Homo-oligomer: A and B are copies of this chain.
Amino acid sequence: MIKLNFLGTSDAIPTAMRNHISVLLTYEGENILFDCGEGTQRQFRKAQLNPNKVTRILISHWHGDHVLGIPGLLQTMSLTGYNKPLYIYGPKGTKRFMNQLLKTFAFKKNYEIKVQEVSGKFFENKDFCLEAKSISHGIPCNAYSFVKKGLIRIDRNKLKKTGLPNLPFLKNLKKGKNITYKGKKYLAKNLTFKEKDIKVSFVMDTQFNESIAPFVKNSDVLICESTFSKELEELAREHKHLTSEQAAEIAKKAKVGKLVLTHISQRYENNLNIILNEAKKVFKNSVLASDLMSMDV
């Protein structure tokens, strides 16, 4: 099961209710952190999650409100015995920023940090892959997708029709291997099906752009910045951000399953329905992220 923990959901200025942005995606042994705003390590503590389980950090871009939690998190991971390689991915410039950051805040580090500047599909194993797409935010900035690959399953109905007995060797079908029983050959492709992939996409900061929808297409969950409401569309354009209406338009065009609005400006703290209702008018299955909210995908 894929689990999302929303550790922080504010824009550049945090509020009493919202910390700077960060989302943790957990799947099997992987704990993938998307952005790491200031205070993220403490949000882990509040959510009763262990920062030492983080396996990868994906950085959308190097504006302070998305990255200022990195040095403290790395330091605490070191103090509490983290000892595996830590993978940090980001857009162009990430290696330089990480070098400067480690030089500025020196600390004893008992693990290796592997930094990669990424675009396109940049990680894949048998279970899932990670993809990056450059988006427009004034400085190098990536959107990301996590895609859990659908498993190959045996089609029990079709299997029944063959009259094959339920023996251990049938599991070879799931590996794509054809089998022979009592002289007759059975093709794997005729007796199996592939589950649907599960896709979760992250658009943490961007201006409205036609190229986003194709990248996040068919996501089961799209986590999307929604800094302003539409009456401030001009300000959104100026600061290269989205309104919640625009986030919903992307969700609709991309035919996603669910839209989660985050990166909310402090000005809506006492009037959050503006943001949510505006999105819902365009894309019904919209929800508003709040700090420490968790969600199963």
Contacts and interface: CB of A to CB of B under 8 A. Distances in A.
B45 A42 contact: no
A289 B65 CA distance: 29
A42 B14 contact: yes
A13 B76 CA distance: 6
A140 interface: no
A80 B14 CA distance: 12
A160 to B, nearest CB: 53
B64 A71 contact: yes
Interface in A57-103: 64-65, 68-69, 71-72, 75-76, 79-80, 97, 100-101, 103
Contacts of A19: 39, 42
Given A75-B12, A80-B13, A105 B64 contact: yes
A41 interface: yes
Interface string A8-36: 00001111100110000000000000000
A46 interface: yes
Contacts of A193: none
Nearest to A39: B39
A103 B80 CA distance: 29
Contact of A97 (B38, B71, B104): B104
Contacts of A39: 19, 38-39, 42
Contact of A16 (B15, B46, B80): B46
B64 A75 contact: yes
Interface of A: 12-16, 19-20, 38-39, 41-42, 45-46, 48, 64-65, 68-69, 71-72, 75-76, 79-80, 97, 100-101, 103-105, 107
Given A16-B45, A19-B42, 15 more contacts: A13-B76, A14-B42, A14-B45, A15-B45, A16-B42, A16-B46, A16-B48, A19-B39, A20-B72, A38-B68, A64-B75, A65-B72, A65-B75, A68-B105, A100-B103
